[in-house]
Chains A and B, each alone.
Chain A
Amino acid sequence: MINITDKIVGKIPKREFNGGLGEGIINWFGEHISTPENRVIIGATALLSQPFFDYYNKDVDEKTRKVSCARTIGKIIAGTLTGYTIRAGFVKLVKNYSELTENESGGLKKIFTPSIANKDMPFAYKQYRNAMGMLFAIAGLTIAGFVIDAPMTNAITNAITKRMGGGKDGK
């Protein structure tokens, strides 16, 4: 894997961005994208591609194909909604309790503040907050998977399947 990436990097010519769209996209990603936004991008693009793979999968019968397509749509919608909400929620929680101030005693407001944090690197600190939020979000995601994600997926799947006529007895 390392050799392949080395070879690819070796073939890419040296490039200098001087403003323009390329630099704009990169800066936007650096500034705005973390795990919650990443989940939304994956979800939105998945909604535009995955259902078609299932709907035109000629290896299974028509009804299974319809259910499979409906379930993929349900899974993407439910997964993206809960995925984004939980990730963003925990990132915000960590942000609220990781104040980076000179004041030594911060109590609860500094519970997630690392003692080794470099105050001169606000960008690195933002990345840390996102990562710490995601650490907590994993527990939240596991619980939400059963409590919200799975029932919501089933409800959306059943509603879409009914409309497509791919359920039990063709309903």
Chain B
Amino acid sequence: MNESSFMKTVVNKAYTNFSQNPGNFLLWSGSIGWVASCISQLVAIANNDKLTGKQKKFLIPQEITDGVVNTLLFAVFTRSFTKIGEKLVHNGKIATKTLADLYKTTKVPHLGNKTIDELIGTEVEVDKNGKKVKQLFHIGDTVNKLDPTEAENGISKKYWPFATGVVFTFSTLGSVISCDAVTPFVRNKIASHQQKKALAKEQALGQNEVKTVSPIAPTQPLQNPYQPKTPLASAYRPNGSMKI
């Protein structure tokens, strides 16, 4: 395959996959964006000499958690909301008055010449990879198969801008909910838990070293770092501020 035909294959594939599936495109482009951003932010924290070691111990796990949680929640929420938007519009649950009127008058030749309005909510037989399968009537697929003259002058021109608007509205709503409410809450919980674990481990190691070299009580067993009477443990509050 030469350079020119490779380019044509890429642009044709992009056209087939995304020209009428904008929700799907927003989903994967957003997810990749989060992963790229997370990697660069990790490098930024590691190289920021104005941050203390303790702060980095929180910020690095926070960033990793942020990246993983953000990408996962973004994908799950955005995907779910996009699906809801797609189903609402393609199954005819929501429409504009103009579209609803067109549904009543537009006949579908390949489905018994019934109108779109008559077909909404019914199961129809469609061709999928050469096989006949039954599925819920899908307005988007049907509109694309209508006569080009019909598509240009009538329903298709009105249907796709509305359908895209619905899908974008729902997918934006999903991404805003996941990024602005769910993710910061979840990532902070996980990151602070990781920070406490790392600091407690460090503390326990420090105590262990003190005990090993201490000439006063060499046979005393290792103390639990969370035990309230030891000075270090009293400084560490598992549910609040860390003042080590």
| A 13-26 binary contact with B (CB < 8 Å = 1; else 0) | 01111110001011
| Cβ of B71 to closest chain A Cβ, rounded Å | 13
Q: A29-B168, A41-B172 are in contact. Are A60 and B242 (CB under 8 A)?
A: yes
B165 lies within 8 A of A120 (CB)? no
Chain B residues positioned under 8 Å from A29 (CB to CB): 164-166, 168-169, 172
Which one of B40-48, B106-114, B203-211, B213-221 is at the interface?
A: B40-48
How many residues on B have C-beta within 8 angstroms of the other chain's C-beta atoms?
85
Q: Does B8 contact A (CB under 8 A)?
A: yes
Q: Specify which chain A residues have a CB less than 8 angstroms from the CB of B240 in the assembled complex.
A: 58-59
**Are B18's CB and A131's CB within 8 A?**
yes
- Most central of A29, A98, A117 by chain B CB within 10 Å: A29
CB 8 Å contact bits of A127-160 with B (1 = contact, 0 = none): 1101110110110011001100111011001100
Q: Are A4 and B80 CB-contacts (below 8 A) given A61-B241, A149-B37?
A: yes
A-side contacts of B160, CB under 8 Å? 121, 123-124
Contact between A127 and B25 (Cβ–Cβ < 8 Å)?
A: yes
Q: When the two chains form their complex, are residues B22 and A120 in contact, meaning their CB atoms are under 8 A apart?
A: no
Taking chain B's interface residues, is the majority helix, strand, or loop, or is none over half, making it mixed?
A: helix
Indicate whether A16 sits within 8 Å of B95 (C-beta atoms), given known contacts A59-B189, A116-B12: yes
- A36 CB to nearest chain B CB (Å): 10
**Beta-carbon contact of A5 and B181 below 8 Å:** no
Name, among A46, A50, A131, the residue most crowded by chain B CB atoms within 10 Å (CB to CB).
Answer: A131
Interface: B76 (CB within 8 A): yes
B161 partner residues in chain A, CB cutoff 8 A = 27, 30-31, 123
B58, CB-defined interface residue at 8 Å = yes
Across the interface, do B55 and A64 meet the contact criterion of CB distance under 8 Å?
A: yes
Contact partner, B165, options A26, A61, A135, Cβ 8 Å? A26
Contact of B179 (CB < 8 Å), options: A25, A42, A63, A135: A42
A158 touches B48 (CB 8 A): yes
Q: How many positions in chain A have a CB within 8 Å of any CB in the partner chain?
A: 87
CA distance A53 to B80 in the complex (A): 24
Known: A75-B41, A127-B18, A127-B19. A62 touches B179 (CB 8 A): no
- Which of B84-92, B124-132, B225-233 is the interface stretch? B84-92
Contact B76 A31 (CB under 8 A): no
- In the complex the two chains form, is A54's CB within 8 Å of B188's CB? yes
Enumerate chain A residues within 8 angstroms of B52, measured Cβ to Cβ. 167-168
In the complex, what's the smallest C-beta–C-beta distance from A11 to chain B, in angstroms? 10
**B176 at the A interface (CB under 8 A):** yes
**B-chain residues with CB within 8 Å of residue A67 when the two chains form the complex:** 51, 55, 59
Chain A residues with CB under 8 Å of B15's CB are 114, 116-117, 128
| Nearest Cβ on chain B to A72's Cβ, whole angstroms | 8
Distance A45 CA – B65 CA, assembled complex (angstroms): 20
Judged by a CB distance under 8 angstroms, whether B26 is at the interface is yes
* Whole-angstrom CA separation of A27 from B45 in the bound complex: 41
Given contacts A41-B172, A157-B48, contact A68 B62 (CB under 8 A): yes
Contact A59 B188 (CB under 8 A): yes
Interchain nearest-CB distance for A129 vs B (Å): 9
Contact B94–A63 (Cβ < 8 Å)? no
Known A-B contacts A18-B97, A123-B161; the reply to A57 vs B79 at CB < 8 A is no
Task: Determine if B151 is an interface residue (Cβ-Cβ < 8 Å).
Answer: yes
A-B contact pairs, 7 of them (CB 8 A): A28-B165, A45-B176, A46-B180, A59-B193, A128-B19, A141-B33, A142-B36
In the A-B complex, the 9 residue pairs with the smallest Cβ-Cβ separation, listed nearest first, are: A30-B165, A145-B40, A150-B44, A59-B192, A131-B18, A53-B184, A124-B19, A114-B15, A26-B165
